Amino acid sequence: MSTVAYLVRHGEVEHHRSDIAITARGREQAASAADALADRIAEGDTVSVCHAPVNRVRETAEIVYARLLARRIPRVSLRPPQIDLALSNVRFTFRSDDGDRLEEPSQLYEEINDAAYLKNIPQARVDFYGGFWKSADPMGYWLTHDSGGGAETPASVLCRFQERLKTIVDADGVGQTRTHSILVTHSGAMRAVLRHAFGSDPGEPEFCGIITIEQSARILQPTLTYQGRSAPLKLD
């Protein structure tokens, strides 16, 4: 048996300043991504769909699942979408009376940009948040700037994804069919993985862009493929 995982970015949204639904175009992108994935799934394969815990990602995963279900590939075991916290976006640190907590950036936009809140956190965090939200490429900014403890580091997000992917690879079994794990997530996390594999950041993935990570018995390390480029992916 071979194992393949797909990191899929969520569909298009109008902005990232709150946890909103994807657009009509985003729904079309999710359906197109599902069709591309379906072309790789054969009779008798096993397929699971997991997603990060915010609306735009959940909605994308549900569309992918429904589209795959409608394809009626014979004897495929298709598991309904499940939340997977390991697939979360980079999370920012929010300081409250109850202590620091980690939240996805779109869920903290108003709080982090509140003048009263900014007066009560370290200046390094203030500078990072300001630079992040003003940047034309916020996730690129996160990848290259110290947050002063205001966000998870790229290394910590990468580690989270490596651990998740390792569980998929280690679960490989015996037989002729394949196991497909569709992991719907965010661009920042995808870029952390791509930078690790390729040695440089390729920039923002398209909405519903797909990274393929494939493991087989003939290869010691899984192979990552993205936009026609391939590289071995270290998971330790």
Task: Tell whether domain 2-88+154-232 is in CATH 3.30.300.30.
Answer: no
Helices assigned H by DSSP within 39-184: 55-71, 109-112, 115-118, 123-134, 138-144, 154-170
**pLDDT over 70 (residue 217):** no
Predicted model pTM: 0.94
Residue ranges of domains in the chain: 2-88+154-232, 92-144
The span from the first CA to the last CA of the chain, in angstroms, equals: 22
How far is it, in rounded angstroms, from Cα 20 to Cα 14?
8
Instruction: Name the phi and psi angles at 114, rounded to 5.
Output: -80, 125
Give the whole-number percent of the chain exceeding pLDDT 90: 85
Write the pLDDT tens digit of every residue in 186-215: 999 999 999 999 999 999 999 999 999 998
State the pairing for strand pair 99-103/92-96.
Answer: antiparallel
Helix, strand, coil percentages, rounded to 5, for the chain? 40, 25, 35
CA dihedral 93, 125, 138, 97 (to 10 degrees): 30
pLDDT digits (tens, 9 = 90+) for 61-116: 999 999 999 988 898 999 999 999 999 999 999 988 777 889 999 999 999 999 99
